Amino acid sequence: MTTPPLLDAFLPLVADLTRELPEAERYRRLLGALRRLLPADAAALLRLDGDTLVPLAVDGLSADTLGRRFRLDEQPRLRALLAQRGATRFASDCSLPDPYDGLVEGLSSQLQVHDCLGCPLYLDERPWGLLTLDALDPARFDGIDLATLEAFASLAAATVQVGERISALTRRAERDERLMQAYREAADRQGSHELIGQSRAHRRLLQEIAVVAGSDLSVLVSGETGVGKELVAQAIHAASPRAHKPLISLNCAALPDTLVESELFGHVRGAFSGAVTERSGKFELADGGTLFLDEVGELPLAVQAKLLRVLQSGQLQRVGSDREHRVDVRVIAATNRDLAGEVRAGRFRADLYHRLSVYPLPVPPLRERGRDVLLLAGFFLEENRARLGLRGLRLSAEAQAALLAYDWPGNVRELEHLIGRAALRAMAGGEQRRILSIGAELLDLPAATDSEAPAAAAALAPATGDLRQAVERFQRERILAVLEVHGHNWAAAARALGMDRANLHRLARRLGLR
Ligand SMILES: Nc1ncnc2c1ncn2[C@@H]1O[C@H](COP(=O)(O)OP(=O)(O)OP(=O)(O)O)[C@@H](O)[C@H]1O
Ligand SMILES: [Mg+2]
């Protein structure tokens, strides 16, 4: 007994159901089965997307067909196919234009399709898409029983449904895993704590945070390096109605230009070399919550354009995909650049700047916060005391005066690191059971209040060795000093040195700093 041909064609597809296949491959195999079953020159599977048919897989049609979009109001033939629940065959002299005319492979572009049939696919009683078959010979489909095509279409619909469910589940699992990772990273990130301070400038900042947190406005947090911009962004999210949803961060300076886009919007498998699996972007992960775009001034111009589009429409596409996702994301951006100046210089898009800075929130530098320096020093002293297992750790009166007199080019982060170093020095020189006092000498503050001092000292070091060695020594010390001030943020250090980031990396490697 021979197996009936329909079942024959279909068995491999049923076997495929339990395999993990990319959607495109599943659709391609489906068409392959259809062509083995029915003698056509070309076949296509199209998905209905609003009023447009999108080809998902084609067989026997030129490759560019996959890029075409067939609008129903321009395609009476496809419209007629969708209007019937069952299969339709067009008469060979039917005057309706065929969307595939000139697209059938291996034939001169003049040749027209002469025999054409198709059948809609229904999922949950709604039209999902179409299967079409074309032949150049007007009598090719003469012997075909339309019921065979209809049977195939309903089996195909079931395959499509299972395939879509599997893909949706895979996507959800992948997204959940990325979310968990984001939560873990956020929990590990130190610095998510209370904003310390009492100065007038500080209180004004807290007030602004309280005002803007309740809204959904985009906030642009600006300020010098180390002032606490990230902490401010966390505080806004925590005080917002989105606090129970994730705060997802992306440091726009930390990634090469080519990866920023996929990190933001995600990508589909095969979108570029290295994209071995489908991946959701930070935008999708932040859905319902807040997306923190740190160092937003570093975004490449091409990505700025795409970001603007997503912010305006709320729709995003993964790199390499034409499917749109709707997202509900509140954006907080931060920069230590003068972004308005960047706009004037043509390095940042004006429209994106206005879209991001609906609520501008400048964070004042530490030197404008008066005695907050001492409060913050106290906070960091306590952190270090606990970490080092000390009984007590405090500052001498001269040390306090020195902190108040300094102008803090590296702001709170510089203070944090300075206290950390001083605590270690104090511990090395004292006994753990005692209350240790940090004197001004242990703070090792630059004598002059300009950050040029260490570099100048390096330049004046005894002139041993040849000129090249002296220059390299100077470069090494200068780079280390600037890195220290900028909390080892290479992008910020490169800016402060007036260098391109890539050049700084290269130089640092040559000098053995990386
Ligand atoms: N008001 C504050 N109270 C307590 N800690 C603070 C305060 N402001 C900043 N910090 C701490 O100072 C460090 C630097 O802060 P943060 O990373 O938020 O600065 P930033 O402005 O984002 O710096 P950069 O421009 O270099 O990215 C962090 O460890 C943060 O926790
Ligand atoms: Mg920061």
Contact criterion met (CB below 8 Å) for 270 and 399 = no
Does the C-beta of 191 come closer than 6 Å to ligand 1?
yes
Rounded to 10 degrees, what is the CA torsion of 205, 207, 209, 214? -170
User: Which helix (H) or strand (E) is 361 found in, with range?
Assistant: strand 359-362
Mutate to test the pocket of ligand 1, among 231, 296, 335, 361 (most ligand atoms within 8 A of CB): 231
| Ligand 1 contacts CB of residue 251 (under 6 A) | no
Cβ(492) – ligand 1 distance below 6 Å: yes
Q: What is the spatial distance between Cα 249 and Cα 184, in angstroms, rounded to a whole number?
A: 12
Q: Is the CB of 41 under 6 A from ligand 1?
A: no
Which residues neighbour 15 within 8 Å (Cβ) at sequence distance 6 or greater?
none
Rounded-to-integer distance, Cα 124 and Cα 379, Å: 61
Centre of ligand 2 to C-alpha 294, Å, is 6
φ/ψ (deg, to 5) at 192: -85, 80
Q: Given the DSSP bridges, would you call strands 279-280 and 266-267 parallel, antiparallel or unpaired? A: antiparallel
Smallest Cα–Cα separation from 254: which of 316, 313, 299, 305? 299
- SS3 assignment, position 58: strand
Q: Which residues of the chain have pLDDT under 70?
A: 1-4, 106-113, 188-192, 431-433, 447-465
Partners of 368 in the beta sheet? none
Atom of ligand 1 nearest to the CA of 202: 1
pLDDT given for residue 294 in this prediction: 95
Q: How far is the CA of 29 from the centre of ligand 2 (A)?
A: 49
3-state class of 334 per DSSP? strand
103 lines ligand 1 (CB under 6 A): no
Is this model's pTM higher than 0.95 or not? no
Nearest atom, ligand 1, residue 379 CA: 4
Cα distances from 211 to residues 120, 236, 238, 292, 354, in angstroms, run: 54, 9, 13, 18, 20
* Res 432: pLDDT: 65
Q: How far is the CA of 191 from the centre of ligand 1 (A)?
A: 7
pLDDT in tens, 289-312: 999 999 999 999 989 999 999 999
Distance 416 CA to ligand 1 centre (A): 9
Q: Establish whether residue 413 lines the binding site of ligand 1, counting it when its CB lies within 6 angstroms of any ligand atom.
A: yes
- pLDDT computed for residue 453 by the predictor: 44
The predicted structure's pLDDT at residue 295: 94
Number of H helices, E strands in the chain: 19, 17
Ligand 1 pocket: which of 206, 294, 295, 412 to mutate (most atoms within 8 A of CB): 412
Distances (CA, A) of 39 to 130, 144, 164, 361, 376: 18, 9, 28, 67, 79
Closest-lying ligand to the alpha carbon of 363?
A: 1
Strands 330-335 and 290-294: parallel
Locate the ligand 1 atom nearest the alpha carbon of residue 229 and give its number: 21
Residues 44-76: pLDDT tens digits? 999 999 999 999 999 989 888 988 999 999 999
At 93 the pLDDT is 81
Helix (H) or strand (E) holding 69: none
- List the beta bridge partners of residue 326: 315
d(CA 28, CA 39): 17
Of 255, 259, 312, 316, the closest CA to residue 283 belongs to 316
Q: How many CB atoms lie within 10 A of CB 45?
A: 22
